Amino acid sequence: MKSTKRWGSFVLTGFMTAAFAPQVWAQAEAAPPPAAPPMVAAPPATPSTGVSNPPPPSEIPPAAPATPSAVEASPKPPTAAEAMPATRPDALPPIDVGAWIRASGIFQGQNTSKINDWHMDSAYVELHAGGKIHKNVSLTLNLNANMLAWNAAGVPSQGSLVALEDAIIAFDFIDEFHLWAGRLLVPVDRANASGPFFMIPWNYPGFFSAQGSLVVSAPVEGPSGRNNGAVLWGDIAGGKFSYFAGVFDNGNIATSPLFSGKLRLALLDPEPGFWGNGSYFGDKDILSIDVGGQFLKHGSTTMAGGDKDYSEFNVDALLEKKLGGGSFVTGEAAYYLDGVNDGGVSQSLYVLAAYATPTVGVGNIQPMVRYQWAKIKGNTDTNPWNLDAALSYLIKGPALRVVATYSYTKLPGDLTANGIQLSAQGIFF
């Protein structure tokens, strides 16, 4: 009887265990692991009794960090823009705008050989705007205005008061290959690439003026050194070598196109880019050589009917070296050869030397001297020559400077010009 009860109790206990075991196991699996017990310091050592003491309890490692849930661990789904990057527009830089201003007055009389009067001789401004419309295409629009050259009636007597200087659409494919078209700078020599803003002398080279007479020894360019046409150009080896090849017609179908180009080799710091400098005002160490040339069929303008072809060759060498403390020295020499035997200027040259002191006050003091000379084919009289001696104060390099220049010019026929010019320029980018 007792054995029957024991057997029934055993069966009942097994049945209940089988019924409730899954819930107990599930609760056991879901329950968090017990917290790690606090660290227990090892008991102090006891004197040796000949029996080795048991080792202290080993350190129990901290509990492992909780594993993130499946939702937290899954990556964030991409947005539409991230999933389709080709549909995103290119991030283009903002449009650049700037204003460039030059103003000067000269102590010189109506008879240019005498320093007995004073008048303003330059008030010139350029407005610049440009920017990208595609990652490889940009637009440039520049205007200029000469606010002097008035006659007695208060009307501008030379050129137009406001003019279009540049209107360029530029296709910049790679550094080694660009195509620019529109109204743009004629690539021929360093002087034209620099323009008056970025050269040390105040007055542009190649123009000799005295007592109403003017002798021009500069290459064919156009107003402000620009013309209508197109230029292929590129920088190789980061601007160590650059090439420029242009064709221009100034929008006149009745004339043959002007072919103009140049090569530039930079032996020290590179000179990349379309535009150029006559000085880097202490920012670079420069030793560069430029070689340029032009050809225009039936382009001689000094012969009746222009029946001779015009050709020109020039070479320029620029050396500029930083000396420390903000000082630098500049030397330049250029030579021009006109291949037309038509009674005009057949060759010309200029040499320049300048030194900028270490910083004095807020800028550098820079004395400069430049000598220019031209030869007129068949002329037995004095050949044109000019001497400029200047003293500049460079406050922000070409962006803000003041210049005092003494200039003397002598032309055939014993025509002379003396002048003391006080000038200032500022550039807002």
| 102 vs 156: CA distance, rounded Å | 18
Spatial separation of the C-alpha atoms in residues 220 and 338, rounded to whole Å: 11
> Tokens 């340029």 — which residue?
292
For the whole model, what pTM was predicted? 0.76
Which of 236, 259, 221, 112 is CA-nearest to residue 174? Answer: 236
Tell me the pairing of strands 415-428 and 310-324.
Answer: unpaired
**How far is it, in rounded angstroms, from Cα 371 to Cα 422?**
19
pLDDT at 308: 80
The residues facing 328 across adjacent strands are 322, 356
Place of tokens 């929008």: 251
Q: What is the mean pLDDT of each run of 10 residues along the chain (429 residues)?
A: 43 42 41 48 43 44 53 55 57 91 95 94 93 96 81 51 93 98 97 96 95 92 93 98 94 84 98 96 97 88 62 97 96 91 83 97 97 88 94 97 98 95 95
Q: Could you give the CA distance from residue 254 to residue 256 in angstroms, rounded to a whole number?
A: 7
Residues 6 or more apart in contact with residue 159 via CB below 8 angstroms? 146, 149, 223
In the prediction, which pLDDT does 389 show?
98
Question: Which one-letter amino acid corresponds to residue 328?
Answer: F
In this structure, whether the domain defined by 94-428 belongs to CATH 3.40.1080.10 is answered with: no
- Report in angstroms the alpha-carbon separations of 97 from 92, 100, 141, 182: 15, 10, 10, 19
Contact (Cβ atoms closer than 8 angstroms) between residue 370 and residue 403: no
Tokens in use for 99? 């204003």
**Residue that the structure tokens 């005295």 belong to:** 210
Return all residues near 242 (Cβ < 8 A) that are at least 6 apart.
233, 234, 235, 236, 263, 264, 266, 271, 272
- H/E/C letters for each residue in the chain? CHHHHHHHHHHHHHHHHHHHHHHHHHHHHHCCCCCCCCCCCCCCCCCCCCCCCCCCCCCCCCCCCCCCCHHHHCCCCCCHHHHCHHHCCCCCCCCEEEEEEEEEEEECCCCCCCCCCEEEEEEEEEEEEEEEEECCEEEEEEEEEECCCECCCCCECCCCCEEEEEEEEEEEEECCEEEEEEEEECCCCHHHHHCHHHCCCCCCCCEEEECCEEEECCCCCCHHHEEEEEEEEEEEHHHCEEEEEEEECCCCCCCCCEEEEEEEEECCCCCCCCCCCCCCCCCCCEEEEEEEEEEECCCCCCCHHHCCCEEEEEEEEEEEEEEECCEEEEEEEEEEEECCCCCCEEEEEEEEEEEECCCECCEEEEEEEEEEEEEECCCCCCCCEEEEEEEEEECECECEEEEEEEEEEEECCCEEEEEEEEEEEEEEC
**What is the structure's pLDDT at 301?**
56
How many CA atoms lie within 13 Å of 211's alpha carbon, on the beta-carbon side? 12
Domain residues of the chain, as ranges?
94-428
Query: Given this model, what pLDDT does residue 17 score?
Result: 44
pLDDT of residue 255: 79
Q: What is the pLDDT of residue 2?
A: 42
- Tell me the one-letter amino acid at 55: P
Query: What's the Cα-to-Cα distance from 186 to each of 108, 229, 248, 260, 278, rounded to whole Å?
Result: 33, 9, 8, 7, 16
239: left (phi over 0), alpha (psi -120 to 50) or beta: left
In angstroms, the CA 295 to CA 62 distance is: 87
